[in-house]
Amino acid sequence: MKTIDTLTNMSIQITTEKDTLHISVNGDIVNFDTQTTLKKIQKSITKQIKKIIFINNNLQKWDSSLLLLAFETICLAKDKKISYSIDSMPKNLQELITLAFAVNRKPSHKTSDQKDFLEEVGFKTLSITSKIKTVCKYIGEILSSIGRWLTANSVMRKIDFLSALDDCGPKAIGIVSLISFLVGLILAFVGAVQLQMFGAQIYVASLVTIGMCRIMGAIMVGIIIAGRTGSAYAATIGTMQVNEELDALQTMGLSRIDFLVLPRLLSLLIAMPILTILADFMGMIGGAFVGVFMMNLPYQEYWKYALDAFSLKNFLVGIFHGFCFGFIIALCGCYCGLTCGRNADSVGVATTRSVVNAIVWMIVVTGIITVICQELGI
C-alpha cells in the first residue's frame, strides 16, 4: 500500500493488486492538491495495470478538487485504454463525471464537401432565388401594410411613429448640417482650383448650388442616415429577435410589419426630404464660406450667381432622391433586423449588412434615376 497524500481529516491512498489499481478516498476531500496527486497516480500506472477502481472509504465532504482528480484520472485511463470504475463513489459525483464526458470539449472541424463547378453554380442559383423570393414577399407585406394604414386598419401605434420620427429627424439635424457644410466647402475648393485657371472663380457659386441641390445633398444625407438610423433599426429589431420578442408579437396575432417596420418607414419618408433641403442649404453656405472668405468674392455677387443657378427642377430631383433613399434605408434596416439570427454575433452582422446594403442600393438607384432624368431631359 502506498499513501498518495494524507492531511488532517483527508486521505487518498492507492494500492496495486495484480493488474488493478485501487484509489481509496476517505474523510473530507476539500481544497486538495490535485496536480501533485495526479502526477503520482500517473507514475503508478504501469504496463501491468489493466483496471482502475475508485473506492469510497467513508468519504465525508468533497468539492471540485476530487471531481477534477477523478476526471483527469479517467482521462489517463482512456488514453492508455485501461478500464475504470467509479461505482462506489457518491451518486452526484458520478453524474457530474458522466456530464463532463457527455460534452465534446474539442469539436471536430467540419470538412466541407467539395462540389464541382456545376453543383456550385446550382447551389448559388437556388440561394439567390430563395433570397429574391424572400425580399419580394417582404416588399409585398410592406405595401400591404401601407394599404392597411391608408384605410385606417393598421395596428401601428402613433407613439411609435412619433418616436421614430424624432430619432431620424430632429436628432439628426446636427450631424447632417455639419457634414453638408463640409461637403459644400470641399466642393467649392475642388471647383475653385479649376475655375481659377480661367478666371471664372465666381462660378463656384453655381457649381456648389447645382451639385448640392441636384444630388450631393441627398447622397450625403442618405449615407449619414444609413449609418446612423438604418443600423439602429437593424440592431433594435435584431435584438428583439434574439430576445424572442418578435415571436411574442406573432403569438399575440400582431403584424410585425405594421408594428415595427411601418412607423420607421413612414418617419424616414417624411424626414429624408426635409433633411435633404437642410443639406442643400448648408452646402451652399459651405461654398459661400470658401468663396467669400478665402477667394475674396463679393458676398452679393456670390449669392446672385448662386440664386441664378438654383432651379426648381434640380431642387425637386434632389428631393425625389431623398424620398427614395429614405425608403431604401428603412427597407434594408428593418429587413436585416427581421432576418437576424438568434445570438449576439448575428446582431452585429445584421447591423453591418443593413448599412452596406443601403449604401449599395442608394448608389444603384442614383444611377437609375440619373439615366432616366438624362433620357427625359430633366
Task: Indicate which CATH number applies to the domain containing 54.
Answer: 3.30.750.24
Residue 22 CB coordination number (10 Å): 16
Domain shared by 216 and 283, yes or no: yes
Residue listed under C-alpha cell 469510497: 56
**CA–CA separation, 173 and 226 (whole Å):** 14
How would you classify residue 112: left for phi > 0, otherwise alpha for psi between -120 and 50, otherwise beta?
beta
Residue type for position 158: K
If asked whether residues 265 and 195 sit together in one domain, one would say yes
**Same-domain check for residues 7 and 144:** no
Give bridge partners of residue 56 from the DSSP assignment. 25
Residues 300 and 211 reside in one and the same domain: yes
pLDDT value for 276 = 92
Phi-psi region of 12 (alpha: psi -120 to 50; beta: other; left: phi over 0): beta
In a domain, 119, yes or no: no
327 in Cβ contact with 265 (< 8 Å): yes
Q: Which three cell numbers stand for residue 17?
A: 493488486
**In terms of domains, do 210 and 358 share one?**
yes
Q: pLDDT at position 201, please?
A: 74
Enclosing domain of residue 14: 2-102
Q: What is the pLDDT of residue 206?
A: 84
Q: What is the distance between the alpha carbons of residues 15 and 34, in angstroms, rounded to a whole number? A: 18
- Same domain, residue pair 81 and 144: no
- Whether residue 18 contacts residue 51, with contact meaning beta carbons closer than 8 Å, is answered with no
For 86, the grid coordinates are 467509479
Amino acid sitting at position 369: I
Taking alpha carbons only, the member of 320, 360, 366, 368 closest to residue 336 is: 360
- The reported pLDDT for the residue numbered 363 is 92
pTM (2 d.p.): 0.66
Residue 1 confidence (pLDDT): 46
Question: Structural domain tally of the chain?
Answer: 2
Task: Give me the pLDDT at residue 110, please.
Answer: 58
The reply to whether 111 falls in a domain is: no
The pLDDT assigned to 361 comes to 92
Kindly state whether residue 57 falls inside one of the protein's structural domains: yes
Residue 24's DSSP bridge partners are 13, 55
Q: Does residue 260 belong to any structural domain of this protein?
A: yes
Residue 118 covered by a domain: no
Same domain, 198 and 279: yes
Long-range contacts of 133-140 (CB under 8 A, 24+ apart): 134/339, 135/335, 138/331, 138/335, 138/338, 139/331
279, 272, 280, 283: which is closest to 324 by C-alpha? 272
- Distance spanning both ends of the chain, measured CA to CA: 101
Q: Does residue 97 share a domain with residue 170?
A: no
d(CA 97, CA 204): 79
| 272's grid cell | 429624408
Q: Is there a domain that residue 109 lies in?
A: no
Q: Could you identify the residue written with the cell 444611377?
A: 367
Question: Domain end: 102, 118, 143, which one?
Answer: 102
CA dihedral 311, 313, 317, 318 (to 10 degrees): 10
Instruction: Check whether residue 306 and residue 370 sit in a common domain.
Output: yes
Reading the chain (378 residues) residue by residue, the pLDDT tens digits are 444 444 434 577 777 777 788 888 887 777 777 777 787 777 777 777 888 888 887 777 778 888 888 888 888 888 888 888 888 888 888 888 888 777 655 555 555 566 778 888 888 888 888 888 888 888 888 888 888 888 888 888 888 889 888 888 888 899 999 999 998 888 888 887 777 777 777 788 888 888 888 888 899 999 999 988 989 999 988 888 888 888 888 888 788 888 888 899 999 999 999 999 999 999 888 888 888 887 778 888 888 888 888 888 888 998 999 999 999 999 999 998 888 888 878 888 889 999 999 999 999 999 999 888 888 887
Q: Which of the listed residues 102, 123, 155 is the one where a domain comes to its end?
A: 102
**81 and 191 fall within a common domain:** no
Burial class (CB in 10 A: 0-12, 13-18, 19+), 125: exposed
Residues 141 and 53 placed together within one structural domain of the fold: no
Kindly state whether residues 91 and 144 are assigned to the same domain. Answer: no
- Considering the domain boundaries, does residue 112 fall inside one? no
Within a domain: 337: yes
